[in-house]
Amino acid sequence: MIHPILQNTIFLFTVMFIFSTAHGAPDVPANFDGWITDALAKLETDGITGGFHRQTAPLSRAEVAQIIRQAESRIRAGSVIPSEIDRKLLEKLKRAFRRELADSDGRRIAFLPQLRATEKKIAPALETAFHWTAGTLKPPSAPRLTLYSEFEAHNFESPPLDGKTAGQRLERWRGEYTMDFKRSYLQVNGTHLNLLVGRDWIFWGASRYKTVGISDNSPPFDQVRLTGTFGKRLKATAFTTQLDSTWYDDGTKRYLAKRYMSGHRLDYQYNDRVEIGVAEWILYGGDAQTLEWKYANPFTFYYALQYNAKADDNVMFAVDAAIRPIDGVRLYAEWVIDDIQYESDSNDPHAVAWILGLTWYPQHLDRQLGIHSEYARVNRWAYTHLDPDNQFTHFGYAIGHPISNDSDTLRLSASYQFTVSAAAEVRAVLTRHGEGSIVDRFYGEDYDSLPFPTGVVARTTEIGGRFSYRPLDAWNIFLSYAWHHTRNSEHRNRETNQRHKLMFQLGYYL
């Protein structure tokens, strides 16, 4: 029997679903929404969970359950004493993952009807997820199976694409609504191996926001992914995916390029305070291109394969590391090599990207206040490639950092965890965009004489904040505001532009 208030709420959302439209909206995944990822990151920084491989995401629900068990074991052993807010966050995680902690079978269908609003319009949206599990990880039983499917419907506009993509990921339907399965996969969890087949995100790097390697800036990938854990210290991941198709047209030749990407990564946890990751991935495409099985092999090195084959595929390397010198402080760095010139007679520039960051939760403030700073830089020719089929994009979005190339950004923010469900953040972000773009090619320019960023630099200042209230099964609220001011807008000298972005989201978990 549905409560009368809930009936009225569903009716209200249904009516608004039919008659309303809007622009833009926050993107909150139903399975791993923001509070879970934030809680795990905070507990790890504060030393509660001990080390885990947080730099390779997303984590499976089985992995999160193991992290919770590890945190409880550390608390029982007296190796760590959590603050009041950390203890409550851990208890909330235990309630959210109670089925995984009990290793029990089951299924759940979650509905999240939402009312989303901006400074211009207001409209409803809907997220729903189906989650089914069977089996157990306790030996000698069979592996644990997970079937997960996450669906979203909204009529909010997406950012424009680059014009080269053959088809958009989201097409308009009735009432200007778009409907998409953001994540949908079958996962087989064994004691040491994890196989995922389907659509999911990939996020490789040490940053909590966006990485300069493979991030969630582009739409999720349809992929096959294999993950292996070897004891507590070592984790290996490999995947293969087909990217969107792109048009090639140089005026004399025109074709639809099929594009693919494979990657593998190794995470090493030196101890509870030091985590190091290395990764390599390769992007390739072209006329009549098919899957290259040599790249789908997770145990080979892509650079050697494409070098020996004299192929001009886009191989990239990444190294990232994080260290917690004391509980409550985390320092991290990322470095991505798109192209580095190790031969002395080379006349090409280095194409690299990197991040430096710091997170601090002061102990004398009961770990409720967080101070965060991060600097990210992507050089002029990073993410680009001489073969336009091999540029580092998926459905028109950079797979790496959203600032794309020839840009850098400095982010300063402070967060405060009022209660286990209520949190707020204020931020200031300074970004510089040069005239270089991801579709550029290096044609022998005198790169040593070029400044960074290049050309007329657009300089954007962003000041904003957000507030979220997210209990497990009740009303949830998300509110954010940002003011953007850009000098040299559109790379025109003394051209200024400013805009306000206000977003409000109200939903109810069923």
Task: Report which residue type is found at 347.
Answer: N
Residue 82 · residue 75 · CB < 8 Å: yes
* More confident site: 322 or 175: 322
Alpha-carbon gap, residue 468 to 505, rounded angstroms: 9
Number of Cβ within a 10 Å radius of residue 422 = 15
Q: What would the pLDDT profile of 56-84 be if each residue is shown by its tens digit?
A: 998 888 889 999 999 999 999 999 999 99
Residue 380 · residue 452 · CB < 8 Å: yes
Residue 432 · residue 458 · CB < 8 Å: yes
**What mean pLDDT is reported for the chain?**
86
202 contacts: CB under 8 Å, gap ≥ 6: 57, 214, 216, 220, 221, 223, 225, 239, 263
Q: Read off the pLDDT band of 29 (50, 70, 90).
A: very low
Q: How far is CA 279 from the centre of its chain?
A: 16
Q: What would the pLDDT profile of 257-276 be if each residue is shown by its tens digit?
A: 999 999 999 999 999 999 99
| pLDDT of amino acid 87 | 97
| Mean pLDDT, range 139-161, rounded to an integer | 76
CA 26, 30, 31, 33 dihedral sign is: positive
| pLDDT of amino acid 136 | 76
Closest by alpha carbon to 508, among 471, 482, 475?
A: 475
Alpha-carbon gap, residue 477 to 66, rounded angstroms: 29
First to last CA, the chain: 13
* More confident site: 5 or 438: 438
452 contacts: CB under 8 Å, gap ≥ 6: 379, 380, 406, 408, 434
Q: Enter the tokens of residue 90.
A: 């851990």
394 contacts: CB under 8 Å, gap ≥ 6: 218, 219, 221, 243, 244
CA 375, 377, 378: angle at the middle one, nearest 5? Answer: 155
Q: What would the pLDDT profile of 209-229 be if each residue is shown by its tens digit?
A: 899 999 988 889 999 999 999
| pLDDT of amino acid 334 | 98
* Residues forming a β-bridge with 227: 194, 237
446 contacts: CB under 8 Å, gap ≥ 6: none
Alpha-carbon gap, residue 437 to 404, rounded angstroms: 7
Task: Please give the torsion angle defined by the CA atoms of residues 224, 230, 236 and 239, in that order, rounded to the nearest 10 degrees.
Answer: -10
Q: What would the pLDDT profile of 387-426 be if each residue is shown by its tens digit?
A: 889 999 998 889 999 999 999 999 999 999 999 999 999 9
* Residues forming a β-bridge with 255: 248
C-alpha Rg value of the chain to the nearest Å: 23
Q: Enter the tokens of residue 375.
A: 């600097």
Alpha-carbon gap, residue 230 to 330, rounded angstroms: 25
